[in-house]
Amino acid sequence: MRKQSTAILTILSSLMLTACNATVSAPINETNAQAAKRITQQNIIVDGHIDVPYRLQNQWVDVTKSTEDGDFDYPRAVEGGLNAPFMSIYVPASLDNSPESTALAHRLIDYVEAIVGRAPDKFALAYSVADVEQNFKDNKISLPMGMENGSPVQGSLDTLRMFHERGIRYITLAHSQSNHISDSSYDLRRQWKGLSPFGKEMVLEMNKLGIIVDISHVSDAAFYQAVDISIAPVIASHSSLRTFTPGFERNMNDDMIKALAKNQGVIMINFGSSFVSPVARSWRDNRTQKADELAKVFGKDSQEVKDFEEKYNTESPYPFATLEIVLDHIDHVVQLVGIDYVGIGSDYDGVGDSLPINLKDVSDFPNLVEGLLERGYSENDIKKILNENVLRVWRDVEAVAKAN
């Protein structure tokens, strides 16, 4: 019955989005480049995952102004049309099961609030879909927040509620290691064989609160359990497709994407070269394997390992992905399950210098849209990818919370 209610809510949300986002007539003889610029400036763009807060943790910089480093700042966001980036409250797995995990999460939320405090004419917090839409009307960039790694919850539903009160609107259940909530795709231990007993309880509490369940990073078993348990749709906030990167469990396979679509969820494509390109993936895997072999003999921080990595990088330059292969990932999802289940989760400021050619920072979203236009996507289709699909999920999550 609950699943049926969610399906009805999904249909109603889709109708509302269609009514609120009527197509603006395109100028006659508009080039794809001109159309892409117009589309990015006239519409909400939701990016599911940008690591600005942890970037500020490493080195404070005022992103309300132009910055020399990183992938995000206000001028570049305006240029690219990005106006609803989810700020990632990222807590490293190394802090799991420690008080510093929770403390860091609060500190990163403080950073997001500080960005808004420094430039309230440019940025605004966003706790709901309505906030995102109102901020867009007010010509402000929304800063919704998602927590990457549920470690700061510390096994307490009261702490989960506190983070909801502070503005967390999705939680990536685990990161690079199994935690007290879920197994990680990177962790071979698989101690829970999916979700922990608390993790299963937490998913349902997230439904009640209106926090989106994010299954990026979790093991396959944890994914299927989360989809089965959750009353509301789930997202993959920054994942790409395993069909292009065989053996890389961090990405999703076709069966998982079909299950996600059946759940009415959305996969938000990660731009990192090693997430989308098999060549970049092989380059990284090969370097890691050889460096690990040397580390067993000489030590992880030895000069031999450092010399090898420097020589490897020089003799075999990193094979950056292209915009085209990012578009291939979007195409594959659309061909597999339809246009309604794909979005953007760039991982800007989170994947270092591995970003694809022509997608190097947040000013490059017009390049993505131009590529979609050249592949025959309609403007209405593109708006679904840019915002409507994930906002539909968010609305459904809000509706389920209201009903519970």
- Structure confidence by residue, pLDDT tens digits, 222-281: 999 999 999 999 999 999 999 999 999 999 999 999 999 999 999 999 999 999 999 999
How confident is the model at residue 58, as a pLDDT? 93
Q: Are 209 and 390 in contact (CB under 8 A)?
A: no
Which pLDDT score, from 0 to 100, does residue 2 have? 42
Average pLDDT over residues 31-60: 98
pLDDT value of residue 25: 57
pLDDT at residue 207 in the model = 98
Q: Does 10 score more than 70 pLDDT? A: no
Per-residue pLDDT at 284: 87
Rounded Cα–Cα distance for residues 221 and 369 (Å): 34
**pLDDT exceeds cutoff 80 at 27:** no
> Is the pLDDT assigned to residue 5 strictly greater than 60?
no
The pLDDT of 55-78, averaged and rounded, is 97
pTM attached to this predicted model: 0.91
Average pLDDT, integer, range 70-83: 98
pLDDT at 14 over 70: no
In this model, does residue 144 exceed pLDDT 80? yes
pLDDT above 70 for 24: no
Domains annotated for the chain, with CATH where assigned, are 31-277+320-403 (3.20.20.140)
pLDDT digits (tens, 9 = 90+) for 105-129: 999 999 999 999 999 999 999 999 9
- Could you report the per-residue pLDDT of 329-381, keeping only the tens digit for each? 999 999 999 999 999 999 999 999 999 999 999 999 999 999 999 999 999 99
Q: Provide the percentage of residues in the chain whose pLDDT is more than 70.
A: 94
Q: What is the pLDDT of residue 26?
A: 67
pLDDT band at 28 (very low <50, low <70, confident <90, very high): confident
Mean pLDDT score of the chain: 94
Q: What angle do CA 203, 159, 93 make, to 5 degrees?
A: 75
Residue 16: pLDDT over 50: no
Question: For the segment 275-333, what is each residue's pLDDT rounded down to a tens digit?
Answer: 999 999 999 899 999 999 999 999 989 999 999 999 999 999 999 999 999 999 999 99
